[in-house]
Structure 1
Amino acid sequence: MKRLTLLAALCAATSAQAAQDTAGLVRFVACPVYRDTDAGRKSGCWLADDRENGKRWDVTESPYKPDWNFAVLVEGRPSANAAQPCGAPALDPVRTSRLDIPCTRHMIPAEGFPGRRYTLPRRNIAPLSVARAVPPGPYAERVFPVYFEFDKDFLVYQYDDWLIDNAVTWIKAAKPKKLIVTGFAATAPETVSGVTIAERPEAAQERAETIAETMRRLVPGTAVETKWEVAAQPTDEPEADGLPWQSQRRAEIRAVF
């Protein structure tokens, strides 16, 4: 009886922690809507409607740009900035992962909304011709995460390339004996907006191999091993922007000395 009581307490604590981790976050599936604003380069807006509560969100800040032919899995946190240049409250941070659910293209006019003027994102790497500052030692074992769109293994522009550039700069300076790249996939089924979603188990291996090949090309001569795991659990790494689902869809580069 004591063991059952303890198990129940542990389960309750785990559920409470999971609820706390997603408090204040937004997650739903929707067909993306493009608002055709014209305030200069890349000023058009991406919007998505949460059908369960009828709320429209501005998801333009996602590093994964929607394909208006397919539904997206929207994950984000309401922005602290109350401005609505796209005509809806913004999610920031936000991710919009493409799903294999066909959508009808939907574009609406500006309707007086200015859109967002393009600015360089925080994660924007300098040209390769620019010398990188050498990270200071001493050097010890370290893990660098890289993140992915739902069920995908390709590198994300102005997100993954920035993470990889930082990792490679450190690895070149530290000169570890080898790198162990582990791919993860969120394979546990979940229901979001009435849609059951789960990443393929193969996505974990595909992510590991993608990052391993990238490391072999960028730090030639360094031994690289690959591993992979399914049923990935969330982490608290800051580069996942506080989105637990994003943190599950990852590969980790472990530098071993």
Structure 2
Amino acid sequence: MIIDCNMFTRICTIFTRIVIIGYAILAAFTLLEARDLATSDGYYYDSDKGIVSVPLLLCAPPSIENDGSTFIISSDSGCHSLTWLIGAPFICSACSIFACLFFVIMDILARYKKGPFSMSAVAGMGLYLIIILVQAGISTGALVEQSLYWVEYMQKYLDDNVEFYVTARSYANTNILLSSAGCAFVAAFFVLVDTILYRCNEKRQTAKKDEAIVIFVHQSTIDVEKVAHTSTIYDLNKSNTLDTMDENNRETCSNDGETATPTWVTSA
């Protein structure tokens, strides 16, 4: 089965743009989740739902007073908030959103030949976008890892010190953060594949154009040689025809001369 390279490249390009847009949407939600995690104010216990919201703090678990049916939770005053650490993936996600949108817009304008952009510039932008996406994925993944670590630590602490079941969770939705990190790596991979396919297809198209030029020049040379050969044969035929006519004319003139001799002229 023969696969059309142009069709395969086009399908990969469309799928890559869809993944990029999907990541940009997830990254927008990541900004909201990171904001909630950064603005969290210590541990919070929701007695109605039985859920303890765990902030991202650099400290030991808080002290708990338990009377058998409920408990009072208080944060250690010596805990340090990791706001700047949370802000790193926040900024990376924001930059990746703008980079993705700019890449898609730039690609559309280049394909429809609008503005100063070209497909080569889009491919170059794709390489920078890969770096931005990988950076955003790593930073967001690190944030998820730290958040889940302290949630699991708190859950174990609650299980050991509370007589009834209480669930620990993060202030941020770790599923959204984890999905955003994974989608960033997937988008980076497809952008890399799309860039490689574009370069290979560009070289193939250039080779085809060069081959077409060589064939055209070769065919033009053959045509010129044919025309020259035909012209030479025509000239030779014309020359032979003229020579034949001259000979015929000379023979005719000679015969006419003999016939034109007067009858009264006698030889000496």
TM-score, normalised by the number of residues in structure 2 = 0.18
Higher helix share: 2
Larger of the two Rg values belongs to structure: 2
Higher RCO (CA 8 Å, separation ≥ 6 residues):
2
TM-score, normalised by the number of residues in structure 1 = 0.19
